[in-house]
Amino acid sequence: MVKKIKHHPELTGDRCSHCNGSGTVIADIGGLNAYVDCPDCAGTGLVNSPNACTSCTGKGTVITNFCGLNVVINCEHCNGSGLEPKKTKPPSQKR
């Protein structure tokens, strides 16, 4: 079963040729075939994404260690959107 890609609609880029845009590939894990995130696009189905979050590569989630377990949480850098936050200009100082 191939997962449906759920990336932010504003995330742009080219379709990944390794997974054909599905975001998953079949990997041999100890003699068993399993669907895993594509290593080329990190599971987003897109490559060369200029507006993808630099922390989560556009997925919106990251894996962190919590009490010895790997847990998936929303990316704090982009607040789970998968988009690189826009840089805001500091308010101008009037003199």
For the entire predicted model, the pTM comes to 0.66
pLDDT of residue 5: 56
What is the extent of the structural domain holding 59? 14-74
H helix and E strand count, the chain = 0, 6
- Cα–Cα distance, 69 to 66 (Å, whole number): 5
Q: Is residue 5 part of a domain?
A: no
Q: Is residue 85 part of a domain?
A: no
What is the torsion angle, in degrees rounded to the nearest 10, for the CA atoms of residue 26, residue 29, residue 33 and residue 38? -10
How many structural domains does the chain have? 1
Per DSSP, 3 falls in state P
pLDDT of residue 90: 67
- Cα–Cα distance, 92 to 23 (Å, whole number): 43
Tens digits of residue pLDDT in 44-84: 889 998 999 999 988 899 999 999 999 999 999 999 999 99
Q: Is residue 27 part of a domain?
A: yes
- Cα–Cα distance, 79 to 59 (Å, whole number): 11
**3-state DSSP assignment of residue 25:** strand
Q: Is residue 3 part of a domain?
A: no
Tens digits of residue pLDDT in 1-21: 445 556 677 888 899 999 999
Least confident of 9-13, 23-27, 33-37, 88-92: 88-92
pLDDT of residue 3: 52
